[in-house]
Every structure is written in C-alpha cells, then in structure tokens.
Amino acid sequence: MVGVLGILGLLAALFFGGAGAQADTPDKETTLTVAVSQEVDSLSPFLAVRRITTALGRLMYDFLTNYDPKTGKSVPGLAESWDTSADGLTWTYKIRETNWTDGKPVTAEDARWTFDTMMKDEAAATANGNFVENFESVAAPDARTLVIKLKAPQATMLALDVPILPKHEWENAGDFSKFNNDKKFPIVGDGPWILSKYEVNNAITLVPNKKFWRGAPKFDKLVFRHIDDPDAQVEALKAGEVSFVAGLTSAQATSLGSVDNITVNKAKGKRFQAITINPGARLQDGTEFGDGNKALKDPIVREALVRTIDRAAIYKTAYGGFGEANGGEIPSRYKDYHWEPTAAEAINFDIAKANQLLDGAGYAKGADGIRAKGGQKLSFRFNVHNDTPQYVQAAEMMREWAKEAGMELKVEPVSEVGALLDAGTYDILTTGWSVNPDPDYILGINKCSGLPAKMGGPYLSDAYYCNPEYDKLYDQQLAELDTGKRAAIVKQMQQVLYKDNVFVVWGYADQLEAFRSDVIEKMTPQPDPGGNYDSQDGYWSWWSALPAGAKSTADSSGGGNGLALGLGAGALVVLAGGFFLLRRRGGAAADERE
C-alpha cells in the first residue's frame, strides 16, 4: 500500500548511512560541556520523564523514526523503511542492519521486546505507555522485520517516540519499577552517543558511538554538568568551564551578547510554562490522598484564581518580552495544532471579575483580607522551581494579584516539585513541558489513565486531571488520519483543558541559549535555520557539533556536520481513502516534566 514510501525510506537510508561527514579535529581531546540544573529521575527509558533524561534517551538509543531538522517531517531511524495495510491496522517496519555498542546485532526482536514489555508490564509503560495502549500485537517474524497490529487506526505510527532497548541487556533486569539502569557502564545502546560515566548531581559523560550508522559525533566527549544556580551557569560559560547554557533570562542573554567568543541564540519556544492547581490528588479508582486545599476542588475558586493571572505581564516582566502569552497547550511554533481562545471564551486577567465570582460563591473576606467559607480559607501553598528565576518572579507577581481578590499565595521556592506532586502535598505548582511536532504525547499526560492506579504506583499525570470528555476526544484524535480533522479535535481538547482551570498554561517563552564559539564551530539547529539547539526533537545539535578549528570534509549545506538532512518525502504516508499522515511526535525530550 505504501511501497513508494519504502523506496524513499531505502533511498534515505543510503543517503544518510553513507554520508557521515568526517572532520579533521585538533590533536587534543575535545569536550562539549552542557550546563544543566535538573536532577536525573531515571536512566531507564521505561521510567524517565524529565527533560534531561528523555534527552539522554535520544542520544543513547535509536528510535524507529526521527525528525528532519529542516522540514520537521519524519525520516528513517532504526526503521529504514515502513509499510501499512489498506485498513491502516498493520504496520511493517524494515529494521536497519546495525549493531549495539557491545558489538551484538540490533534486530527486530529488540524492538518487539521493547514494545511488548511496555504492553504487559505496568512499570515499563510509565513514561511512554500511551503509545502502545492501542497495540493488538507486536511480532518479529525475522531479524529485519517488525510487525505491529493495531486495535484501531493510529495517527502516531511514524511518531512512536520510544527508545528501542537491547533485549539481551534488559530482559533479566527484574522489577522495572526499580531498575534505573545506573549501575553498569558504559551503557549499551545504538544511538550516536554512549553514556560512559554517571556522577549523581555532578556530571554525566558520554563518548561517541564510532559505528553509529549516520556517522560518529565529532567531539570526543559530551558532558552534562550539573550546576543548580542559573547565574553560576552563566559565570561558568564566561570562564570556559562549560560550553553551552540554555534557559537564559533576558538579562543574561543581553549581557552575554557582548562577551567575546560567546554566541547567543534565540528561538521560538517549543515549551509551555504553566501551573497545576491541585483538584484533589486521587487514584484511578477515585481514592483521594494528599493534603491539598479542598477549596481548589471548586471550579469557581479555580476560575477566580486564573482571573488574577496577567499572562501578558508575566512575559513582559519576568521574561523581558521574550515570549508569547497564551492559554493553549500547543505552542504557536506548531501552527497545525496550535489553539488559542477567542475573545468570547478567554479567561482573561480581570480581578474585578474574580472578586465578583468569589462574592457570589459565598467566600467572604476576613479581618486579614483572606476569603473563607465554612472555615476553608483561600490560602494556598505555591511551590516554585527555585532554579528558574522567571518562575520565581512570575509567582511573586501572581501573589500580589491574588491578594487583591482576597486569596493568599504563599510562594515557596523549592529545588524539586516532583516529590510534592507524587504525594499530593501541594496546592499550586509551577510546571513546564517541551511539546513535540506531533501533539499526542503532551495531550496524553492529562488523560484519566495518567492517574496512578495505586499508591506509589507509576503514573504520568502532572495535575491529577481527569475529564471523560477530554479522554473521548483523545481517542478520536489518535484514530483520525486526516491531518486537518485531527487538528480540529486537538484544538477541542485544548479548549476543554483551558476551561477546567486545573492545568493552566501561561504561554511560551522564547528559547534563549548561548555557547562558546571558541569551543563549538557550528551545529545544527531545529528547525534549521533559526531553531534551538537544546531540547530538540532528535539528536541533531550534539551529534553534528563541530569543534572549533576542525575542518569538515563534507558539504556544509545541511548544518553543523555537513549532512543534508532535508529528505522530507520520508514523512509522507499515503493511506487508504486518501488520508495523509504528515506529522509525528518528536523527541521524548519532548515529553518532559520540568
């Protein structure tokens, strides 16, 4: 049915596989050091949901498909070609001939085992289980063929953003809820980088996979160095102790712009910034836990609180104008799926309206100016990431606005909000996620199935949100293969989420980052040109990065490593009835809880 795509996939495999640019690097060892502040949750792709660890997963393991950094369309990865049945229920992938870093061959059985384990083991499905919920079966009839049968058509079959794991290394790992993949180094993978050393809250060191099928990285080492304080990261960049820093404030970016040997990059945001308002932490069966303020179960209280948030002022002040205020979950960078409320449905900044809502609901102001009803005070803990100055400043702004409506926000900067979220011991939290070109994953975090099934059990929810209407729409978008029709459903989902005021998006900050040009000659942004280097939907930046002073022997039209990466035809799949699947979900970095 899709034979032409298989031909294109084979051409792409030939084009990519044999074109690895070689560089004449300096004699001394070259190291690319990236400053990070986030702590590792797990080095197991079955469990990892944070930005740092999902990004590592992309570097260490190949996925079935990847994203072309120029076009954003799907290109071959571990799968060098693919085909689908007329009814869209059977997908057949041809697995590339390549090896794991321990020399053993990568086979379709590795992919089958990875997906099948996620289908059968609850813990293994923690991070990416939504991809396999609709799978009927997965088979590997031979070493080069993977066959996935679906219960219903699925729009993300070129967006299975799951690291394929080596079965021989993982099948005896034991309890996947406890196995963090952090005891045996180097870690066996098949991606462009090999994780060779892990020092908890200090550094993560990777070395090139010299036999990576797209060509080996050009730096001798890639180090993610843990530095908590954002200002300390900037000082480390100036001193040459690190080569790259992301998440800059506008003031930091401006100051670095005049420093010798430092290049500042600005890209349209692919992350949203948000708060989650605790509607009552609960299990899938409805059992409640935690100590969230019960007043936040009241939709009127939540709406009143959101009415005190001036999104535009947050981006003007806390982000220095480098960002876009909006309430939709999908950033405007992804225009097909981006939604924003109309004037009629917008829950705008309106403190007078907030006071009116609370007066009407019977929340009266006390002598201290804080509203209460039935002994329940509108006084809320507001836990904020202390390593993100923009969040802290925005929280202080929100505190002052809420006070005008008789609500108290007790801003409490913390180093990590995850434990509070897990235990349900919070009222309001800051959060942020990277969004992929395909919206499936980010939409999936707010499904009812994202709630934990048991205390301490694995889950994906970032807000204990559960709305059957939202879930129904999720299933519809997953099965819709027409891009336009699917986009309309995705926009409906964002509208539902927006109205419920539990997962409250502020908007999308521009991505401000900087690197030392005396260390890094060039590298591939995404999108190319004009995109970001950090948190890509792929591994292009760190894989293609060319050390300063090195000379590439290949054509430089395709970015930092000299490869032309614009084979967009690999993304077009013609399905029965003339439908087109044009997008796929991007990097699991994508999918990261901040």
* Per-residue pLDDT tens digits for 63-85: 999 989 998 888 999 999 999 99
The residues with which 277 forms a beta bridge, in sequence order, are 428
Question: Can you list the domains of the chain with their CATH numbers?
Answer: 3-193+511-590 (3.90.76.10), 271-509 (3.10.105.10)
Q: Are 70 and 526 contacting, i.e. CB atoms less than 8 angstroms apart?
A: no
Question: Of 330, 320, 335, 261, whose CA–CA distance to 512 is shortest?
Answer: 320
Quick check: helix, strand or coil at residue 543?
Answer: helix
The tens digit of pLDDT for each residue in 248-293 reads 999 999 999 999 999 999 999 999 999 999 999 999 999 999 999 9
Question: Average pLDDT, whole number, for the chain?
Answer: 89
pLDDT the model gives residue 114: 98
Worst-scoring range by mean pLDDT, 440-454, 505-519, 575-589?
575-589
Confidence at residue 571, expressed as pLDDT on a 0 to 100 scale: 31
- Residue 353: is its pLDDT beyond 70? yes
**What does the block give as tokens for 544?**
């293609």
Q: Which backbone phi and psi does 288 adopt, to 5 degrees?
A: -90, 150
| pLDDT confidence of residue 552 | 57
Residue type, 332: S
Note the pLDDT of residue 22: 41
Q: Is the pLDDT of residue 568 over 70?
A: no
Helices (H), 318-433: 351-360, 389-403, 418-423
- Please tell me the predicted confidence (pLDDT) of residue 26: 52
End-to-end CA distance of the chain: 41
H helices of 414-466, in order, are: 418-423, 440-444
- Comparing C-alpha atoms, which of 581, 590, 594 is closest to residue 539? 590
Joined together, the tokens standing for residue 102 give 């321990």
Whether pLDDT at 191 is above 80: yes
Q: What is the dihedral of CA 450, 451, 452, 455, to 10 degrees?
A: 160
Q: Is-cis flag, bond preceding 208, omega within 30? A: no
Amino acid at 275: I
